[in-house]
Amino acid sequence: MRRRILSSMAIALLATACTSRMLLTSEGRTYSRNVQPVTSDQRCKDCHSLKDKNKKAPADIGTYSTDKIYFNDIRAMLDDPKYAKDLFTAEEIQDIIDWNAAGRPDDSRTF
């Protein structure tokens, strides 16, 4: 019995360690560091903001939950030369692609 409790504690500890490692460091790309600074930036908010009714675009973006919902559209923009060159630097594009490949880790709630 005691042994079972100890081993389940070890598993829980291991799971926590793995999860937080995945959330914070996967490939060094994190939501707060590599995605949010772009999607919450004025260059997107010029058109995307529900706070301003005069904005042209339908979606509010710039938080993990919104960007997760709209990620496929963001991904399509990165591939579209019409948007990609004007709105993102080459480094930002690569960072967002890498963040996606790492499983879109959400570190935004730890800040």
Q: What are 22's two structure tokens?
A: 């995945």
Site membership for ligand HEC, residue 43 (CB under 6 A): yes
Q: Give the closest residue to 31 by CA, choosing from 67, 78, 80, 59.
A: 67
The least CB distance from residue 60 to ligand HEC, in Å, is 8
Q: Give the closest residue to 73 by CA, choosing from 59, 88, 87.
A: 59
Task: Report the Cα–Cα distance between both ends of the chain, in Å, rounded.
Answer: 39
Comparing CB distances to ligand HEC, the nearer of 25 and 89 is: 89
Site membership for ligand HEC, residue 64 (CB under 6 A): no
The least CB distance from residue 47 to ligand HEC, in Å, is 3
Residues near ligand HEC (CB under 6 A): 38-39, 43-44, 46-48, 56-59, 61, 70, 73-74, 77, 87
